[in-house]
Amino acid sequence: MFPTPIEKRPRSAQITYQAFLPVALILWLLPLLAVALFSIKPDADFTNGNYWGVPSSFEAFTNYGKVFFESNMPRYLLNSLFITIPTVIGAVALSCMAGFALGVYKFKGNLLIFFIFIAGNFVPFQILMVPVRDLTVSMNLYDTKLGLVLFHVAFQTGFCTLFMRNFIRALPFPLIEAARVEGVAEWRIFLYVVLPLMKPALAALAVLIFTFIWNDYFWAVVLTQGPDAQPVTAGITEFNSQFRAAYHLMSAGSIVAALPPVAMFFLMQKHFIAGLTLGAVK
Amino acid sequence: MSVSPTVPSTTPQRGWYKRNEIAITPWLFLLPAMLFFAVYVIIPIGQSFWISFHQWDGLGDKTWVGTANYERLLGIGEQNIDRKFEVSFWNNLRWLILYLLAIPAGLFIALFLNQTVFGIRLYKSLFFFPFVISQVVVGLVFSWFYLPNVGLFDVITGWFGIDVRGGILGNPSTATYGIIAAGLWPQTAYCMILYLTGLNAVDPEQVEAARLDGAKGRKMLWYVILPQLKPATFIAFVVTIIGALRSFDLISVMTNGGPFGSTRVLSFYMFEESLSEFGFRMGYGAAIAVVLFFIMLGFIVYFLWSMYQDEKGAH
């Protein structure tokens, strides 16, 4: 193990390390802690210039109450949910099948198609922006959740296919051969042999895509406007103009907007990290 | 896998699909993904190229203008180079170079946290935390952190007698760096988690052997550990380059391109030209996007080439 395990170091080094850990963490998360502090302060603190001191009163319930009951925030949150969940299902379903095709079969153009999926995943969003917006408008899907979902599914399929294909490649191939010898139809092999083995990959991809899509801002701005369809990342700017310079409310709003992916991460940590670090180890 | 030649009679004739199952199945499975990807990703790239040779407001007819958009952008012929484009381009370069700092920083934190003391798992997750938060929120958080006079950053630098005029984000000479620093925060967390996973897989026998040979500290890191972390470094490099060139959310939220347009990057400038109050200059915007695409293409080709080498090695 590198660096040398701290247990093998002198006692003094161990104590220094243990004491320094929380300090380092607080420094690292300082901007976030500041926002958390802002969100429980009363309005008066900001007018009095008490930005960073102890809150003069604890106003978390009032502030978060306002976010939930006196703004469009709940709507934006729901929109985000209705955009994110279908995208996760769609992208994972499409890429499962594509990954199966690319991972199991040998055919001409296999590697080329695979590389097109990877390359497409890296292109700058801006080169897609004008035509995709145009397409969405012409399908009458501008400013709808469906319009965003369709694009997200398509774009995320690139990354997901890369992920799935590599995962399927690592599965034991004799299993598939054996099923073929038994005369099992190919689509049944996918459904009953491969799919059950892909559960960890499915979980990892689902949490990753959830986070990516929830946090998307660019496409939300390009393809939607207004509280009918906008997700929370775009809605937060509208929320902020409603409460201009009301830092206690803006920070409460930001925390609410950031929370779902954070919760997802802590609940599914193992899968999340497995997905994110795919390929980091040979 | 060859399909057996059809033997006449004896066995009942199987259907055409059954006979060609192995050949057809992959295409059936690929079809939906390819269709979506073609319609929303591949074809739009071509369309953007096409649009970049036109003048177009996004609604009416397109007017063919040949390479006029590019000439205006790059200042070919009589005209000067588009100043906003120039600023954006140099800012992109700053992003690219400074963003790479996330890799050593992530490695440093990973080395710091690669211990097995009580509660270390929680520490690791909390250090990773910034990556999970949306860039919009990161941008907001940092813009409050940078507030002139009252922001925590100004307060702390004030103790050392440093005073940035107008605050970090209000000063054209510091604003871009302030935004990049905000971007480095989640990006470092990402690189950290890649390296933590990589460190987990480092071969303990090699480390022990090197230790017996007297290697330690920096030498050990450079000659024994880093070579084994190569896959992690490659991925960290890929995601950091892509992240740097995709920077948009932070700029949009923190400065909206200002002050005086000093924080624009190509992705932001393109958006501004095509979809903002200044009018819908889709053709010109598409030309900017094409330039950005070619910058990215250089990296994409390199990434794909590396992956191709790996694929060849695997067979």
Of chain B, the end-to-end C-alpha distance in Å amounts to 17
Which is more confidently placed, B90 or B163? B90
The domains located in chain A, with CATH, are 1-30 (no CATH), 40-69 (no CATH), 71-276 (1.10.3720.10)
Which pLDDT band holds residue B94 (cuts at 50, 70, 90)? very high
Q: Is there a contact between A88 and A213 (Cβ–Cβ < 8 Å)?
A: yes
**Model pTM?**
0.91
The predicted pLDDT at position A282 comes to 65
Q: Residue B141 pLDDT > 60, yes or no?
A: yes
Q: Does A61 touch chain B (CB under 8 A)?
A: no
Residue B232 lies in a domain: yes
- What is the residue range of B210's domain? 89-265
Q: Residue B10 pLDDT > 50, yes or no?
A: no
| Chain pair A-B, CB pairs under 8 angstroms | 292
Q: Residue A152 pLDDT > 50, yes or no?
A: yes
Residue B20 lies in a domain: no
Q: Residue B8 pLDDT > 70, yes or no?
A: no
Where do runs of H (alpha helix) occur along B79-229?
83-99, 102-113, 120-128, 135-145, 152-159, 175-200, 204-212, 217-220, 226-228
The predicted pLDDT at position A144 comes to 94
Mark whether B60 and B127 lie in a shared domain: no
Are β-strands B54-55 and B63-64 bridged in parallel, bridged antiparallel, or unpaired?
A: antiparallel
What value does the mean pLDDT take over residues A261-267?
A: 90
Mark whether B116 and B246 lie in a shared domain: yes
A122/B51 touch (CB, cutoff 8 Å), yes or no: no
Best mutation site among B28, B140, B235, B280 for testing chain A: the one with the most A CBs within 10 Å? B140
The predicted pLDDT at position A25 comes to 95
The predicted pLDDT at position B13 comes to 61
Mean residue pLDDT across chain B: 88
pLDDT tens digits for range A198-239: 998 999 999 999 999 999 999 999 999 888 899 999 988 888
Q: Residue A5 pLDDT > 90, yes or no?
A: no
**Residue A56 CB partners (closer than 8 Å, separation 6+):** A41, A42, A44, A45, A48, A50
B230: CATH: 1.10.3720.10
The predicted pLDDT at position B315 comes to 60
Which residue carries 């397109």 as its tokens? B62
Judging contacts by C-beta atoms under 8 Å, the chain A residues touching residue B221 are: 2
Residue B119 lies in a domain: yes
Min distance A35 CA to chain B CA atoms (Å): 6
Which is more confidently placed, B75 or B30? B30
Which is more confidently placed, B315 or B23? B23
The predicted pLDDT at position B278 comes to 67
Mark whether B56 and B172 lie in a shared domain: no
pLDDT tens digits for range B181-208: 999 999 999 999 999 999 988 888 988 8
The 10 Å Cβ neighbour count of residue A195 is 14
Nearest to A6 among B39, B40, B117 (CB): B117
Mark whether B115 and B242 lie in a shared domain: yes
For A153, nearest residue in chain B (alpha carbons): B36
Which is more confidently placed, B218 or A146? A146
The predicted pLDDT at position B154 comes to 85
Mean residue pLDDT across chain A: 90
Mark whether B107 and B220 lie in a shared domain: yes
B40/A155 touch (CB, cutoff 8 Å), yes or no: yes
Domains in chain B, number: 2
The 10 Å Cβ neighbour count of residue B165 is 9
Min distance A8 CA to chain B CA atoms (Å): 11
Residue B3 lies in a domain: no
Mark whether B77 and B180 lie in a shared domain: no
Query: What share of chain A has pLDDT > 90, as a percent?
Result: 56
Min distance B44 CA to chain A CA atoms (Å): 5
The predicted pLDDT at position B1 comes to 47
Mark whether B94 and B77 lie in a shared domain: no
Q: Residue A139 pLDDT > 90, yes or no?
A: yes
Min distance B273 CA to chain A CA atoms (Å): 11
pLDDT tens digits for range A42-93: 888 888 878 888 888 888 888 899 889 888 889 999 999 999 999 999 999 9
Q: Does A157 touch chain B (CB under 8 A)?
A: yes
The predicted pLDDT at position B47 comes to 94
Query: What share of chain B has pLDDT > 90, as a percent?
Result: 54
pLDDT tens digits for range B272-286: 989 876 668 899 999
